[in-house]
Amino acid sequence: MREAHPIEAAVGMEYYVSDAEGVGGHLRDADAAFRVREIEQFDAEPLDADPGSYPHLVVRATLRGWDTNDFARRLSDALGISRERVSWAGTKDKHAVTTQLFSLRHVDPAALPDVSDADVEVVGRAGRALQFGDLAGNEFEIVASDPDRPENVAAVTDELAAFAGGESTQANGDVVRDAAVGVPNFFGQQRFGSLRPVTHEVGLHVVREEWEDAVMAYVGNPYESEPEDTQQARRRAEECAPDWPAVLDALPRKLGFERAMVHELVENGGDDPADFRAALETLPTNLQRLLVNAAQSYVFNRVLSERLERGLPFDRPVAGDVVAFAETVDGFTVPDTDRLQRVTESRLRTVERHCERGRAFVTAPLVGTETELADGEQGDIERAVLADLGLEPGDFDLPGEFDSTGTRRAVLVRTDLTVTADPLTFEFALPSGSYATTVLREYLKTDPVDMG
């Protein structure tokens, strides 16, 4: 089994499942080389619906080179409203052309501003804000630029088809058409920060209620992949702490979230754990949740890597696994995590058949207060990873936005893939919550920075 790049291993993705050499190259040569469009799962009322009953304006935005959070902040600033009145269903990459829905509470469509590199179309009104998960999935069209070995596409695809429990692909030279492939359902590098993968480190401190460590992991903790001036500012901040006014002076204005945290410490004194928690709570609520989500994602990735190392299957269960039965959402067959079953020896063959027919999925935990761990060898894996990190499900009983009850997530994600040459282009769709880079990393096998 092929070991992953060290940057990927640092966020829990320790292996590739395909042994074939990658095609090389890089992604995002231009924003238009990475296109993402939401497969929407949100019904809006007509625009002339009663604003009293339907106070949320729903818009569809096509963004070029915009991070979702940055666009939401730009939109709220231009409208003169709180950033908390802007909501969306899924966070998208900055270096891409992305099409997604936003909801804006108590906003007149006539007040919508012109924003550079953004096309905004009014869709209608809704009675509630968009929430994470209000989309079925995403469609991708992604170009791999300057590949060294494009002819390796077919070999990688054959291995990914076998990993998914299928057979060899329909290939013609370096062109693959409608191949059913599967990869471990890892959380991609973006979940943890593409240039500075520290979100899970901050989240692990939060779950352990190490509030000061969490703040410093966010404010300090420079990474070589950041601009040199940003690295210097973070190092200076670490040197100045706990002189919080000096830390604030060390941070440039472009580090807005970090400055807001430190400003809170200046106001409160920074002498008590509650001061550091309050500093973290200056982040937008979705980013507060993301910290704990990233910690859960890291645990999940570690569990999947250990399952790979032990040679356990991903497309079918072993005794002790917890499976989720399938449901169909807008054309995607996805796990229904409200319908879980623990696999016993006596039921193993029956559940295997369900998985073979796409009626059930093997799962691993996104650990929270209500998580019940698996039995058997998978249960051993889950308990060992948590023990290594000094965590247990009860630790996720946290204040405010940091609390999480947890859930389970499929260990395997399948997709129908089409690859064409000149330029080397990958087209596929994934259910909500799965990452395009977890598919493409198997093909490129390159430095994750070249995929970010």
**pLDDT over 60 (residue 172):** no
d(CA 7, CA 3): 11
The catalytically annotated residue of 31, 48, 70, 93 is 93
Closest CA to 88 of 269, 261, 285: 285
CA dist 256 to 115, 262, 283, 284, Å? 20, 10, 10, 12
Q: What are the tens digits of pLDDT across the range 296-349?
A: 999 999 999 999 999 999 999 999 999 999 988 777 788 899 999 999 999 999
Q: What is the pLDDT of residues 42-61, one digit of tens each?
A: 999 999 999 999 999 999 99
Residue with tokens 């890597």: 305
Q: How many whole angstroms separate alpha carbon 202 and alpha carbon 206? A: 6
Residue 333: predicted pLDDT: 82
Cβ-contact 363, 341 below 8 angstroms: no
Q: Which of 22-26, 83-87, 92-96 comes out lowest in average pLDDT? A: 92-96
List pLDDT tens digits, range 396-405: 999 999 999 9
pLDDT digits (tens, 9 = 90+) for 57-83: 999 999 999 989 899 999 999 999 999
Q: At what angle do helices 211-219 and 256-268 cross, to 10 degrees?
A: 140
Question: What is the percent of the chain with per-residue pLDDT over 90, rounded to a whole number?
Answer: 85
Q: What pLDDT does 177 receive?
A: 67
CA distance 301 to 366: 10
In the beta sheet, which residues pair with residue 364?
409
Please tell me the predicted confidence (pLDDT) of residue 327: 87
Does residue 345 or residue 173 have the better pLDDT? 345
The answer to which of 172-186, 258-272, 346-360, 425-439 has the lowest mean pLDDT is 172-186
93 as an active site residue: the answer is yes
Q: What percent of the chain has pLDDT above 70? A: 97
Q: What is the pLDDT of residue 356?
A: 92
Q: First-to-last CA distance in the chain?
A: 24
pTM of the model: 0.90
pLDDT of the residue at 242: 96
Q: Mean pLDDT over residues 192-211, rounded?
A: 94
| Average pLDDT estimate for 8-22 | 96
Q: Confidence band (pLDDT; 50, 70, 90) for 173?
A: low
- Residue 160: which of 331, 334, 416 has the closest Cα? 416
Q: What is the dihedral of CA 365, 304, 412, 427, to 10 degrees?
A: 120
Q: Nearest-CA neighbor of 436 among 35, 66, 151?
A: 35
Q: Which domains does the chain have, with CATH numbers?
A: 6-32+137-185+413-451 (3.30.2350.20), 42-132 (3.30.70.3160), 191-283 (1.10.1510.30), 287-410 (3.30.2350.20)
Q: How far is 175 from 172, CA to CA, in rounded Å?
A: 5
- Segment 113-140 shows an average pLDDT of 93
Give me the pLDDT at residue 380, please.
98
Give the pLDDT confidence of 255-290 residue by residue, as tens digits. Answer: 999 999 999 999 999 999 999 999 999 999 989 999
Residue-averaged pLDDT of the chain: 94
